[in-house]
Every structure is written in C-alpha cells, then in structure tokens.
Amino acid sequence: MAAPTKPEYKVIGTRPVRPDGIDKVTGRAQYGADIRQARMIYGKVLRSPHAHANIKRIDTSKAEALEGVKAVVTGADLPQSGDRRSDKSLNVLAADKALYRGHAIAAVAATNPYIADEALKLIEVEYEVLPPVLDVREAMRPDAPVVLDWVRTTSMAGTGEEPTNVAAKGGFNFGDADKGFEECDEIVEGEFKTKMVHQGYIEPQACTAMWNPDGQLTVWTSTQGSFPVRNDTSEILDIPISKVKVVPTEIGGGFGGKIPVYIEPTAALLSKKSGRPVALRLDRTNVFEGTGPTSGTSIKAKIGATKDGKLVAAYADMAYEAGCFPGSSVTLGAMAMFAPYDIEHVKIDTYDVVVNKPHVQDYRAPGAPAAGFAIEQLVDELAEKLHIDPLKLKQMNSSHEGTRGPGGMPFSRIGQEECVEAAMNSEHYKSPLEGPNRGRGVASGFWFNVGLRSSVNISVQPDGTVNLVEGNTDIGGTRASLAMQLAETLGIAYEDVKPMVVDTDAVGYNDVTAGSRTTYATGMAVNKAGLNLIEKMKGLLAAKWSAEPDAVEFASGTFSSGENSASFREAAGIVAGPADATLNATGEVSAGVLVGGGFSTHIVDVEVDPDTGKTQILRYTVVQDAGTAIHPSYVEGQMQGGAVQGIGWALNEEYYYDEEGKMANASFLDYRLPTTLDLPMIETVIVEVPNPTHPFGVRGVGEVSIVPPLGAIANAVYRATGVRQFELPMSPRRVLETTHDLG
Amino acid sequence: MATHIQVSTRINGEDVDFLCDTRQSLLEVLRDVVNLTGAKEGCNNGNCGACNVMLNGALVNSCCVLGAEAEGAEIVTIEGVAQGDHLHPLQTAFLEEAALQCGVCTPGFIVAAKALLDEEPDADEARVRHWLAGNLCRCTGYDKIVRAVLDAGDEMRKAPAGR
C-alpha cells in the first residue's frame, strides 16, 4: 500500500547545519567534565570490590587526615526516611550491603584528583563476603542466595510471602494460545540468551556541584534529563526542589544510560561538607562497573502458523535481570516482542529478577532487542519450513492500523507493511548474494514513541528573528529539528530561529530526552507555541489594520486581511515597535506514553570465516518509518547509529563475569565497541507514513533501529553456516563452537 | 619533594609555558592547566581516541603521554585546527554532512582525520576506515564520518594551498 502524500513543506525535509555545530567541531562545546569553577576541588568514589557483601564497618579517619582532603562522605550522610533508604539513594551510596562489584561505598573530595585517589586507599572497609548470584535463571531458583531481603514477588495474584529474587511476575494474555497452537500446521520454538551490555556512551558521567551557604544547590551535569536529576537529587538529599538548580551541559551520548543520578547527590554532599565546588567525574571502569547497563535475558519462545503462512499463536517466557534492584525492562520487551505481527493468540509470562550486578538502566528501545533476537529467528525458521520468502512472510502477517498493538490497544496508522515492502523492493534485497560462507538475514522491529511533558518559550527579537528556549538536552541534533519545526510553523527561515537549552530554573518542566520523544513531543510543544504566537499577532495586526480580530489570516508565512498583507518579519515590525506589545508565547504538551509507534526492517549480508568463526558484515540496509523526516540526515544518523550498536551487541559486546561477579572486561580494549574497520557503509531507506498524532506527522526515530540487528545477523549467520545461534554475542569463539561439528 | 616541573611548549602556534604535576598526562595538562578542554577523556588508556592531539607532527592519544614529556614540543589541538574564522575543510564537511550527533568524539576524529589527510589527501574509504579504527564513536555508526573525511579529502585536493 502506498504511503499517503505529505504536504509541501519549506523547511521540514531540508538538511541545514545544526546551530550547535560550530562549537562541536572546534572544541568549544562544554560537556560535563569541561565545567570549571573558582576554588573547585575533585571528588572520587570508593567502590566495592565484591559483588555481594555485608559492610561491617567503614573507617574514614585516615582519609580525612590526609593533607589536601576537604571532605569524605559515606551512605550514613544520606538522609533516611521510613524504614530504609530508597533504591535510588542506596545506589548512590551503599548502606549496610554492597550489592554489586562497583557499588559506591564512600567518596572523598580533595584539592587534586591524585590526593583524592590516595585518600580512597586510606578508607578502611570491613566486608563480610557473601555468595553472589549472577545468572537470571539461577537467581529464580528457590535455593538461590537472596540479594535483597525486602523483595517479595508481586503479581496479579498479590504479593508473595517469602524473600526472593523474583521481584515481579507479569505478562499478557490475548486470545487463547493453547487453542491457537492446536490450529497450527507448523510450530517452532527455542531458548535464547543474551548478556548484559552497556550503552557505551563515549563521555563518562561527570558533574560539578556547588552548595551555597544559603542552601541553594547548583549542579552542572551531563544528563538526558535535567528535571529528573533535579527531582532525584532533591528527593535523595531531602531538600526542597526549589533549592536545586540543574544546568545541563552538552552531553556526550546517553542512549538511556544518562537518565538516572549516580554522582550528583554525592558531589552535592561533598560540596556541602567542604564549602567548595566539587567536580566528580567517572572513569571508564567506573562507568562499566558502576552505572546501569541493560539486562541479561533468558527467553523461551514458541510461534506457530498454518501451512499457508498465517501466524496464529505465540508464546514467550521472558526473564530479565534487573541488576541489584527491581525494575528491568521485561514488560516493555514483552509489549514490543510480537508488535510487528498480527497474531490472534498471544501469551507472555514475564519475570523481573534481582541479581548481584549493577542496577540496569534503559538502553535504546529497552527490552526490545533481546525479544527481537528470539522472535525474529523463529519467524525466519517458520519461513524456511513453509518455503516462503522471509520478507514475504512478514508482509503477509504485518501489523497495521487497527491491529491489536502492545498491551491490547489497537494501533493507529503505522508503517510496518510499508517498511517490509520497501525492504523487498530495495536494491540490496534484489541483488543476489553469492560466495561460500555467506548469508543474508532480515528482521523487523517495533518501538514506542512516548509523549510525556514538554514546555518551551519563544520570543520575537527586534530584528524579527525568534528565540526558542527549551529544556531537552540536545543529544543528536534536536536543536535543529525543533528550530526547523518552529520555522515551518511561523513561515520563516530556519536561520531566523535561535534555539537554546536552558537550566531547570529558566523554563517549564521537561521530561527526559529519551523514548524517541524530543523531536516528536517537544516538537508538538514548539508547534503550539508558534500557533499561539500567530494568534497573538493576528489580534495585534487587526488593531493596527483596523480590521475585525478574526479577519486576519495566516498562511504560507504571510498575514493578510483585505488589502493588507505582511510577512512574519514585517508583521513583527508592525506590532512590536518600541511602544507596542512584546511578542512571546509558550507551548506545552503532555501526551500519553503509547502514541505513534515506529517500525523498522533490516537486511544484512555476512560472511563467516569457517576457520576463526569471525563474522564480517558485508552489506547492511536499514529501512525505517520516520513518519515525517524533519532533518533527513539526522534521521539517517539515528538509523545508522542504532543499527551499529545492534551489530556490536550481536557480534562482540557482553559483560564478561568471573564466578565472583567481577567484570573481566571493564575497558574499551576488552569490551569491544564496533570500529570503522568492522563496518561497511550503512545504507538507509526512510519510509514516511505520517503519524496522525503529530501536526507534522513525526514519529520518534531514535530507538527502533537497535531492535532488528540481533535477529537479522543471527539469521544471516544461520544462512551462512546452517547453524542457529541461541546465545549472544555471536563472537568468533561462540560461532566456532556451535559450528564446529559441521566443520 | 619536587612534584611539579616547568614545561615550555608551543600549542596551536603560540608559546605556552606551564607548571605541571609530574604525574599529569598531557591530556590533563591541556584540560586542567592550559584550559583547552576540546580534547576529551573517554577511556584514559588509549582505546577511544577522544583525546587525540598532534605532538611534534605525530598523532597521539594525549592521555598516554605525560605532560612533562612535552618539553620543547609543538602541539596542535582541536582548538588549533580552524584558522581564525576559517574552518578547516574537515570541520565544514562534518557540519554539512551531519557527521556528529553528540559531538564528544568529534574533536578526536577531526584531529586524527587531519593527520591522515595532511599526508594522504587521496586516501580511499578502506584507508580512512583503517586509519580511524582507533577512534570510537557510539552515535553515528561511522557512515557519515567516513563520508565527511572522504569529501574533505576531495576539497583539500582541489585547494591544497595552505593546508
């Protein structure tokens, strides 16, 4: 089916240079570690060497006595309300138990980083080491060591009685899966495992905190959400929210990992104790061991179809590691798992499981890639058994408008069918792949497009340009994509909009830059602000033109009424002279979570070296529905970047633990991100099926591109080797082990 | 005990003397003593390239060089790549081709790519990919970076003077 035609836009769909670009190519942009304050001192964090241990005693006296040390803090310095500190607070600084290797135990601030490091060595901690539990299925066993004594299983049936690591049981049940499987001619199933992986942002967490004598706390930090940092810091320190100002710096990548607070409350406490601004910056090992990666998972799945290729029934048992506190993305993974397909009977059981590893955090489409690794291999296997082209099978079973979507609500207009069709019609898919040890794989994926809250202010400057004040940190070109939407709304040039990201005191509340929401939801707020401004200007123009208030019209960037007409800039000059009105407006949006919906289909060609097991990506194509691509280059960038993170996850990346729960590869040398040398160009096909919930048809594009690669590459490796891959990463060793018998 | 040492260098074409802790890396000196924060710390052990600078004409990870080793050295950082208001073709190409998202790896990539193109402006894709394998980017998947470097090479071949 053809995509609907989109309106003629002047700015949307062009590729201007981003407003923050010059600063970022000349080294002037200020990131988290680039903040300097007079009399600033340096914080460092002492971390647990054990994955699971009771903390019997902490003695900081020798550290405090070291020349140059200005403050030392431990968990005892954090306020406690109720019977225990919150999970968030406990993750910032441990209380009486270390829950993972890398768990923060204490922190110091000193006049230089070397003295701070020396002081850490002088802190005496007496541990009682406990056996760790590291694997999700082992942690679910009744005889497993219990990580947190207050955890009880919550489920629809209520709350359990016994201490356990299974924090929650949940799931979904649509139709009658048992009956559905009886109707199937072909059923395939498998058990799939993935390891913890890290977002791998290049900039480690870094903040600077300054606690003034009047109780006003200012925090400069690299974060995806300055307002959530403000809220969490206020809550953990038990100080009024009005006393905390968060100033977002430029952010060096996040992918979900820079939503929570790790260091801000600690830096604030060190500043309060020392009376000095405190810079606290993590190193790479701290980042791997002490911040939240995404879950290791275990998924047992089964799907069935009729002999003519109709998917009828699906079942999944999904267990996700939450790390040391409850709260994995298993429910989101379950909601996303079967979303590309119209399947009548679906049953999913989910388990959120606590283990002695860092508390997991969001990572681009959290929960969905592991689910995709399972379902996309099973769909591929069905296609092979039914002798149907794998994309053809997807096309026959695609979700579409009205299909039951995640959680049971029907989808609005979505673009899964269009993506599959575009993939089938691509030059890549039509080109034959020849040669030994080579294979082609395809996979689809779904991710949400959340709304949440955004708020912007706009004001017209004396020269007719417009300042756009927003609160979402710009992680990949959103100053540009928001300025473009305002320019389109006002009918002015992109260059006439000056966007700026400000601190939490200077703009209304904004939720995180996450969930593929900024260009979508903040874009809606920008559009509203623009429309509000136009209405205001219409009224003012009517007075100047002696026209009826509703007689002024605005179209294609021009105000008009009878004989009179004026461009936006002319109109601003007419109504906003020195003795006239000031021209400003706000725009706000508060939208639901389950809006929009992004789909993507990937095609990959690989060659597997039969001697080493190494998989080389020969060619890669990403097809994705962007709704409307505001700035196509940055849309392509999201498609390419997510795909390459998925390639790394598929082939190389994993948290490699020893039996004591020590991560053995906590560096960029041993935790190997993809490099230029591992990759070809990443081809892109932007599909545009406008999102009916957005004024310009935008869908968030930031996340779904990481969902298909795991399954697509597994399918390609299967076609190249004849062996299915049930565990990630498909490292040379694992591929060699699994294909060895056939060698 | 003397813990500091005086070092004389030229940085981005200007004489710069600094007093550094003998333990400090060149990266720390540039960022914390000389206040040139364009070079970034991503790993502090030579794996990510975010701290790339030129030291006596050679591309180095400044996190793996001691500040004290820079005595008498000629250093070029990202802050020295543009000539006044005039951007280097690599900087222009990175902007026009959207070769950065978060931008934190960008200084390292531009310094590293300039080191390549200054010697080999006709470097092809395979050469560019091989040369830049020491620079990690987590946002872009490298596609637009490699294209920008190739296009900057084209520009530099067209107008080689002064570059």
Distance CA A737, CA A729 (A): 13
Exposed e or buried b per residue across A373-410, where buried means at least 16 C-beta atoms within 10 angstroms of its C-beta: bbbbbbbbbbbbebebebbebbbbbbbeeebbbbeeee
Exposed e or buried b per residue across A26-35, where buried means at least 16 C-beta atoms within 10 angstroms of its C-beta: bbbbebbbbb
Q: Are A452 and A590 in contact (CB under 8 A)?
A: yes
Q: State the nearest Cα–Cα gap between A251 and chain B, in angstroms.
A: 6
- Residues B128, B74 share a domain: no
- Residues A478, A403 share a domain: no
Q: State the nearest Cα–Cα gap between A473 and chain B, in angstroms.
A: 10
Within-domain flag for B99: yes
Distance CA A334, CA A322 (A): 15
Distance CA A291, CA A285 (A): 10
Q: Which domain holds residue A384?
A: 297-450+593-742
- Residues B37, B12 share a domain: yes
Residues of chain B numbered 18-47 and touching chain A (CB < 8 Å): 21, 23, 31, 35-45, 47
Q: Flag whether the ipTM exceeds 0.95.
A: yes
- Which residue type sits at A580? D
Within-domain flag for B57: yes
Q: State the nearest Cα–Cα gap between B72 and chain A, in angstroms.
A: 24
User: What six digits make up the tokens of A137?
Assistant: 């299925």
Dihedral sign of CA atoms A205, A329, A193, A131 in order:
positive
- Residues B45, B95 share a domain: no
Using alpha carbons, select from A697, A383, A670 the residue that is nearest to residue A527.
Answer: A697
Within-domain flag for A438: yes
Within-domain flag for A192: no
Dihedral sign of CA atoms A503, A507, A512, A515 in order:
negative
Q: Are B121 and B114 in contact (CB under 8 A)?
A: no
- Residues B53, B36 share a domain: yes
Q: State the nearest Cα–Cα gap between A538 and chain B, in angstroms.
A: 37
Give average pLDDT by consecutive 10-residue segment, chain A, 743 residues: 72 98 98 97 98 98 98 96 92 98 98 97 98 97 96 96 97 96 98 98 98 97 97 97 98 97 98 98 98 98 98 98 98 96 97 98 98 98 98 97 89 96 98 97 94 94 93 94 98 97 96 88 96 95 91 94 94 82 91 75 98 97 98 98 98 97 97 97 97 93 97 98 97 94 53
Residue located via tokens 């990759």: A679
Q: Which one-letter DSSP state was computed for residue A93?
A: S
- Residues B76, B12 share a domain: yes
What is the band of B163 on the pLDDT scale with cuts at 50, 70, 90? very low
- Residues B71, B22 share a domain: yes
Of A15, A202, A255, the CB nearest to B42: A202
SS3 A171: strand
Q: Which residues of B touch A667 (CB under 8 A)?
A: 43, 45, 47
* Beta-ladder partners of A294: A197
Within-domain flag for B116: yes
Dihedral sign of CA atoms A726, A731, A737, A741 in order:
positive
Q: State the nearest Cα–Cα gap between A299 and chain B, in angstroms.
A: 27
Structural domain total, chain A: 3
Of B40, B79, B135, the CB nearest to A31: B40
Within-domain flag for B121: yes
Count CB atoms within 10 A of the CB of residue A716: 31
Q: Which one-letter DSSP state was computed for residue A592?
A: -
Within-domain flag for B39: yes
In this prediction, residue A743 carries a pLDDT of: 44
One DSSP character per residue, A379-442 reads HHHHHHHHT--HHHHHHHTB--TTSB-GGGPBP-S--HHHHHHHHHTSHHHHS---STTEEEEE
Is B142 in contact with A676 (Cβ distance < 8 A)?
yes
CATH number at residue A328: 3.30.365.10
pLDDT, mean of residues B32-43: 97
In this prediction, residue A549 carries a pLDDT of: 81
- Residues A675, A581 share a domain: no
Q: Which one-letter DSSP state was computed for residue A351?
A: E
SS3 A191: strand
Within-domain flag for B163: no
Distance CA A278, CA A266 (A): 10
Element (H, E) at B114: helix B106-119
Which residues are CB-contacts of A487 (< 8 A; sequence separation ≥ 6)?
A10, A11, A493, A494, A496, A497
- Residues A116, A47 share a domain: yes
Q: Which domain holds residue B96?
A: 89-158
Report CA-CA distances (Å) from A521 to A500, A514, A549, A652: 17, 11, 31, 34
User: What six digits make up the tokens of B67?
Assistant: 């500040």
Report CA-CA distances (Å) from A376 to A138, A601, A715, A738, B46: 26, 11, 8, 19, 38
Of chain A, the end-to-end C-alpha distance in Å amounts to: 45
Using alpha carbons, select from A693, A229, A223 the residue that is nearest to residue A450.
Answer: A693
- Residues B109, B59 share a domain: no
- Residues B70, B107 share a domain: no
Within-domain flag for B66: yes
- Which residue type sits at A186? E
Average pLDDT taken over every residue of chain A: 95
- Give residue-wise pLDDT tens across range A688-697: 999 999 999 9
Within-domain flag for A113: yes
- Residues A722, A618 share a domain: yes
Residues of chain A numbered 601-640 and touching chain B (CB < 8 Å): 631, 633-634, 636-637, 640
- The residue out of B80, B97, B123 marking a domain boundary is B80
Using alpha carbons, select from A443, A440, A401 the residue that is nearest to residue A420.
Answer: A443
Of A199, A203, A675, the CB nearest to B40: A203
Distance CA A532, CA A733 (A): 60
- Which residue type sits at A662? K
* Beta-ladder partners of A694: none
- The residue out of B48, B80, B112 marking a domain boundary is B80
Q: Which residues of B touch A254 (CB under 8 A)?
A: 102
Q: Which residues of A touch B35 (CB under 8 A)?
A: 36
Report CA-CA distances (Å) from A309 to A160, A258, A382: 42, 43, 8
User: What six digits make up the tokens of A488?
Assistant: 């389109």
Candidates B85, B88, B104, B128: best to mutate against A (most CBs of A within 10 A) is B104
* Beta-ladder partners of A123: none
- Residues A315, A279 share a domain: no
User: What six digits make up the tokens of A88?
Assistant: 């968030």
Q: Are A166 and A153 in contact (CB under 8 A)?
A: yes
Residue B162, pLDDT > 60, answer no
Within-domain flag for A182: no
In this prediction, residue B159 carries a pLDDT of: 79
- Give residue-wise pLDDT tens across range A431-467: 999 999 999 999 999 999 888 899 999 999 988 999 9
- Residues A433, A411 share a domain: yes
- Residues A597, A585 share a domain: no
Q: Omega before A49 cis (within 30°)?
A: no
Distance CA B141, CA A709 (A): 13
- The residue out of B42, B61, B80 marking a domain boundary is B80
Within-domain flag for A542: yes
CATH number at residue B52: 3.10.20.30
Structural domain total, chain B: 2
Within-domain flag for B118: yes
CATH number at residue B112: 1.10.150.120
- Residues B75, B10 share a domain: yes
In this prediction, residue B160 carries a pLDDT of: 63
Distance CA B18, CA B34 (A): 7
Count CB atoms within 10 A of the CB of residue A38: 7
User: What six digits make up the tokens of A271?
Assistant: 């500043």
- Residues B76, B8 share a domain: yes
Q: Which residues of A touch B87 (CB under 8 A)?
A: 22, 25-26
A363 touches chain B (CB under 8 A): no
CATH number at residue A213: 3.90.1170.50
Count CB atoms within 10 A of the CB of residue A169: 17
- The residue out of A532, A560, A591 marking a domain boundary is A591
